[in-house]
Structure 1
Amino acid sequence: MSGPAGDRRLLPLRPAPEADAPLYVLYRGPLASCNYDCPYCPFAKRVDPPALLRADRAALHRFADWVAATTDRRLSVLFTPWGEGLTRSWYRETIIRLSHLPHVDRVAIQTNLAARTGWLADADRDTAALWTTYHPRQVRRDRFLARCRELDALGVRYSVGIVGLPEHLDEARALRALLPPRVYLWVNAADGHVYPAAEEAAWTALDPRFGDSVRPHPSRGLPCHAGETAISVLGDGTVRRCHFVPAAIGNLYDGSWRAALRPRSCPNAACDCHIGYVHLKPLGLRDVYRDGLLERVVHRVEEFT
């Protein structure tokens, strides 16, 4: 056969995305304010003006409406705000709403756990989950642990993390001893900090997955779930394959994201953030986290405590 139709038949078939797999959606709106002033965070103690907060609320409501209407695909949603979202009522209300949607497998958010937790009683706790981080210089340990006990009483899935700075090590050890064994304690390597062997071993004793964080993963050319079964969404609906590849692959609200989903390789030299490298296929981390992927809960916590 000749002509355009015949030419297309001679082209190699492009593998289809994993159509039956859940689509992992990482959402980040304009919000950038936080109630903490951690020295390792560029958004510490930033105050958003009222206009930006209104824009963030409107963008989040629009996104939630999209999730509610997109019933032809199973969805798992992680909110990754630059700031602290749970101090804002619209994030709490949205998590409650999305948790009750039958086509949403998980809805989670990264949080410092400073906000109250009682609102989670209105959520479906089989679906809602928290990725929490303990910042020792910002909150007393007993206060943070009291929040954790509230989550335990509510039956909410959560992980607890800490930044692996030398001055945090004693606090991390105390935290591990006081947390329930079933709660996974993860450690993020601090940006720019070099870990001598003994220091790395000390952190690995607390989190055997610390090695995933301590060294960047060479990633250029490696196959990645990002852009296939995971996407990053900005407040205006811009869709990227992940937070760390700025090129847009479509827009959530005009439907162009659907045709863009396909197997992809990473264009970056290295990937050094958990929400990025967890999707690198050669690392096999989806098998490590399984249904705890978004809230950073390993599948078998008892193996890591």
Structure 2
Amino acid sequence: MKPMDLTILYRGPLASCDYACPYCPFAKRRDTPGQLRADRAALERFTAWAAAQTGDRLSVLFTPWGEGLVRSWYRRALVELSRLPHIGRVAVQTNLSCRTGWLADADRDKVALWCTYHPGQTPYDRFLGKCRDLAELGVRHSVGIVGLDGHLDDARRLRAALPEEVYLWVNAAEGHTYTDEEAGRWTALDPLFPYSRRPHESAGLPCRTGESVISVDGDGTVRRCHFVRAELGNLYDGSYRRALGPRGCPLAVCDCHIGYVHLETLPLYDVFAGGVLERIPARRPSPRSPSVPERSLERQ
């Protein structure tokens, strides 16, 4: 088979989280012991598959509904995959509530964390301390926050405390419409916030998902991305490979960073060159607001 350079977004059945964020449907959700065993088995199967794909070059982003790094099998997967020569990057979305010492065993040129600070769920000093641990370990990471009015002072405080080279991103709050004045306050912290402020029209537009980027669930079902339910095949029988190819987006809009970052009509592969999975820009973003294509809609 022809070698591939493939980015995989993996989301297994894990849906439990140790936080109770009011804007998250999975807050304080608990998985049963059986569900946790199933998630562990699914992740170990995926990790074994990825390790065996020595003829391809893979990059992996774990995007669990819940918090993965409080589970030993996610920490182990990141360490093991980071040390394989055909893995270009392995990253995970996390609330950073876990310990950090285990990262010393990972290849820190390849492992990366996409960290979200949730005010009210963890003490500020504890979260900042975890960020400092990552910096001392030399682990690539970005830090972010949801752009709610009540989070603004926390975000400003965090930006002032983090090293300049650590990117602080801001996600537009689900269902929230921002006035220009409100958006300006968030853009002052994250010059790339205008990309998150409004959903992007995507219908029929070229997107890397389904060609060089795929989504995989715990059963190995492959889809072009997390937001399109049509199946391309299965990871473990190789049937997905025949379905890979360029294709336009079938949805009207795309409003999540892990989706629209792959749209070819946006310049985000250049903005995040070398750090697409962990959301780290190639250069420190300019305070001047980026030019966002007009194919975007005000959040309803």
Other-structure match for 2:111: 128
Mapping 1:142-153, distance limit 5 Å: 142-153=125-136
Mapping 1:142-181, distance limit 5 Å: 142-181=125-164
| Partner Cα distance (1:102, 1:38) in 2 | 38
What is the total number of aligned residue pairs between the two structures? 287
CA RMSD of aligned residues (A): 1.2
| Partner Cα distance (1:283, 1:302) in 2 | 16
- Match 1:236 to one of 208, 219, 243: 219
| Partner Cα distance (1:304, 1:176) in 2 | 13
Other-structure match for 1:254: 237
Equivalent AA in structure 1 for residue 255 of structure 2: D
| Partner Cα distance (1:265, 1:98) in 2 | 31
Quick check: 1:278–1:286 contact (8 Å CA) kept in 2?
yes
| Partner Cα distance (1:161, 1:22) in 2 | 28
| Dislocated runs of 4+, deviation >3 Å | 302-305
- Match 1:30 to one of 13, 21, 38: 13
Other-structure match for 2:55: 72
Other-structure match for 2:291: none
Other-structure match for 2:208: 225
1:51 matches 2:34: yes
| Partner Cα distance (1:36, 1:198) in 2 | 31
| Partner Cα distance (2:287, 2:4) in 1 | 27
1:214 matches 2:207: no
| 1:302 to partner: Cα distance | 5.9
- Match 1:62 to one of 32, 41, 45: 45
| 1:303 to partner: Cα distance | 3.8
User: In structure 2, the residue corresponding to 1:25 is in which secondary structure?
Assistant: strand
| Partner Cα distance (1:41, 1:227) in 2 | 27
| Partner Cα distance (2:180, 2:133) in 1 | 37
| Partner Cα distance (2:285, 2:224) in 1 | 33
Quick check: 1:249–1:260 contact (8 Å CA) kept in 2?
yes
| Partner Cα distance (2:23, 2:119) in 1 | 12
1:115 matches 2:95: no
Quick check: 1:181–1:302 contact (8 Å CA) kept in 2?
no
Unaligned ranges ≥5, structure 1: 1-18
Quick check: 1:182–1:302 contact (8 Å CA) kept in 2?
no
Q: CA offsets, 1:140-192, max 9 Å, x none?
A: 11111100110011000000010000000011001000000000000000011
Quick check: 1:165–1:190 contact (8 Å CA) kept in 2?
yes
Quick check: 2:192–2:285 contact (8 Å CA) kept in 1?
no
Other-structure match for 1:12: none
- Match 2:83 to one of 100, 103, 119: 100
Quick check: 2:3–2:55 contact (8 Å CA) kept in 1?
no
| Partner Cα distance (1:170, 1:20) in 2 | 48
- Match 2:69 to one of 77, 80, 86: 86
Equivalent AA in structure 2 for residue 57 of structure 1: R
Considering fraction of residues, name the structure with more helix.
1
TM-score (norm. length: structure 2): 0.94
| Partner Cα distance (2:153, 2:190) in 1 | 14
Quick check: 1:290–1:298 contact (8 Å CA) kept in 2?
yes
| Partner Cα distance (1:107, 1:164) in 2 | 27
| 1:22 to partner: Cα distance | 2.8
Aligned identity (percent) is 67
| Partner Cα distance (1:211, 1:20) in 2 | 37
Quick check: 1:184–1:304 contact (8 Å CA) kept in 2?
no
| Partner Cα distance (1:302, 1:21) in 2 | 31
User: In structure 2, the residue corresponding to 1:242 is in which secondary structure?
Assistant: coil
